[in-house]
Structure 1
């Protein structure tokens, strides 16, 4: 099975002593990997280091075999991401925001922009300025930005924040559809245990900056009634020692 994302002994420690320690992980093509942990556990730090928004103290990340330390442009060529709060130009419309981003690519046309706006459910708002968008609509636009270039790896930091129930269901269905039909690989961080259980085929538990365990969701649910029970058990038996 093709390894899309390879994380090797990744460390990033802040001045206050918090950060991530010895994170190692392989994610394969078509995986929907959920990085599950409480707020402040290190999920966003992992994603920032992977995408080059933050430099690690030590360790390496390879994306499609290319190291972000030595081959950053090649590593990120087929990556789409949304890290922390999605940002946009508030005085531009949703369409105009995506049009600006499309300038970085020579193969994205107006049809593709309309397509991704439709996919995330905000096509009818394409001509509205994003300063008037709700949190949920901004989140949808952020996801549209992440998938605009048809990336092979999509990294989403808390993608369901701000979405209503219908929005959460729609995003879960979109992620699974892209994985099943196009082989898109996803790395998703979340503290919403139920949604990770319904969305991800693999789950890693991160606690106090350490990846304390990871497994296939199907294996976990054979041994535990819910992912929440698994998470609590792993934290109690490994994270607090």
Structure 2
């Protein structure tokens, strides 16, 4: 089974008629998938359904072959995620927050916590209370928590938000290295096109709740000067539907 994530006919419509409609998508193991779209397109809705924070109206998601509807515990066993904002306990230190997070996983110990804080550039600040952290530091802590249990699949909602340029470069390198070294599959949503272009193997464009395009980044860049040009072209083609 080479498919890490399979989304089948997924729909969720809100009272204001916004939401997502009939999404179908397959993501290979070890792939870095970029979910691109404007604010309000339905990216976070999709991700909330994928991790069980929201129920779909129709359709299903299979994670590592397990249905989130019927086999939720098995589906979630090998997942790390940040959906919407990172909200660690502000009165605890980074290390203490990581300890709390690690209680759910038998294999997590102090060495692994330090390793994750090192990877995300927070080891120097591990004993500092979160209330003193900047937005970018909290974002890094969220990533440290997401990778803590060495999950096979990591789902990240806007992971580049709040990071300075150096932080963005480090985040991209971290994602690419984990994908290459551990065959970790990433599902990343963002509206920051440049970061998606430099990080992701494959890109899906969500517009008005519909998945209007899914293509390998390498193919896109053969035919377009940038992902931004491709995105604008696809949106333009679908804007009137």
Q: TM-score range by the shorter chain?
A: over 0.9
* TM alignment of 1:49-128, pairs within 5 A: 49-128=49-128
Q: Say yes or no: does 1:181 pair with 2:174.
A: no
Q: Which residue of 2 aligns with 1:26?
A: 26
TM-score, length basis structure 1 = 0.99
The whole-number CA distance in structure 2 between the counterparts of 1:239 and 1:57 is: 25
Write the distance in 2 (CA, Å) between the matches of 1:51 and 1:60.
12
1:195-218 superposed Cα distances (whole Å, 9 cap, x missing partner): 100000100000011100100000
Q: Distance in 2 between matches of 1:114 and 1:155?
A: 22
User: SS at 1:161's partner residue?
Assistant: coil
1:233 is matched with which residue? 233
SS at match of 1:131: helix
CA distance in 1 between partners of 2:222 and 2:156 (Å): 27
Shift of 1:238: 1.9
Q: Distance in 1 between matches of 2:187 and 2:239?
A: 22
C-alpha displacement at 1:45, in angstroms?
A: 0.5
SS in 1 for 2:92: coil
TM-superposition CA deviations, 1:81-101 (whole Å, max 9, x none)? 000110101100000000001
Tell me the secondary structure at the aligned position of residue 160 of structure 1: coil
Q: Which residues of structure 2 form unaligned runs of 5+?
A: none
How big is the shift at 1:239?
Answer: 3.5
> What is the SS of the residue equivalent to 1:166?
helix
Question: What is the rounded CA distance, in whole Å, between the counterparts of 2:22 and 2:93 in structure 1?
Answer: 42
Report whether the alignment pairs 1:130 with 2:139.
no
Aligned to 1:171: 171
Distance 1:202 1:225 in 2: 16
Take 1:164 and 1:148, find their aligned partners in 2: how far apart are those partners? 23
In the alignment, the residues of structure 1 paired with residue 42 and residue 240 of structure 2 have an alpha-carbon distance, to the nearest angstrom, of 15
Would you identify which runs of 4 or more consecutive aligned residues in structure 1 move more than 6 Å? none
SS at match of 2:205: strand
State the alpha-carbon separation in 1 of the partners of residues 150 and 65 from structure 2. 19
Give the number of aligned pairs.
241
Give unmatched runs, 5+ long, in structure 1.
Answer: none
CA distance in 2, matches of 1:143, 1:207: 27
TM-score computed with the length of structure 2 as normaliser: 0.99
Q: CA deviation at 1:110?
A: 0.2
